[in-house]
Amino acid sequence: MRTTITWLVVGVFMAGCVQAESGSANVNAKVAEPAMASANLSAYNHTPNYIHRYWVNGQFGANSYAYGGGGSFVCCIMYPPKWTPGLTAVVRWSTSNSDPKGPLNKAWHEKTVPIDRYDRTGSTMNVHFLPNDEVRLVISNGDAYVPNYPGPPGPRKPAGFKF
Nearest in space to 107 (alpha carbons), one of 40, 163, 47, 44: 47
DSSP SS3 for 104: coil
Are 61 and 144 contacting, i.e. CB atoms less than 8 angstroms apart? no
Are 93 and 51 contacting, i.e. CB atoms less than 8 angstroms apart? yes
Kindly report the pTM of this predicted structure.
Answer: 0.78
Q: Where are the alpha helices (DSSP H) in 69-161?
A: none
pLDDT tens over the chain, length 163 residues: 443 333 333 343 333 433 333 444 444 555 566 799 999 999 999 999 999 999 999 999 999 999 998 877 889 999 999 999 999 999 999 999 999 888 999 999 999 999 999 999 999 999 999 999 999 999 999 899 999 999 999 999 999 998 8
Tell me if the domain spanning 37-140 has CATH number 1.10.760.
no
Measured between alpha carbons, how far apart are the two ends of the chain, in Å? 85
* b/e sequence 48-66, b meaning 16+ C-beta within 10 Å: bbbbeebbbeeeebebbeb
Nearest in space to 55 (alpha carbons), one of 94, 97, 83: 94
Are 49 and 99 contacting, i.e. CB atoms less than 8 angstroms apart? no
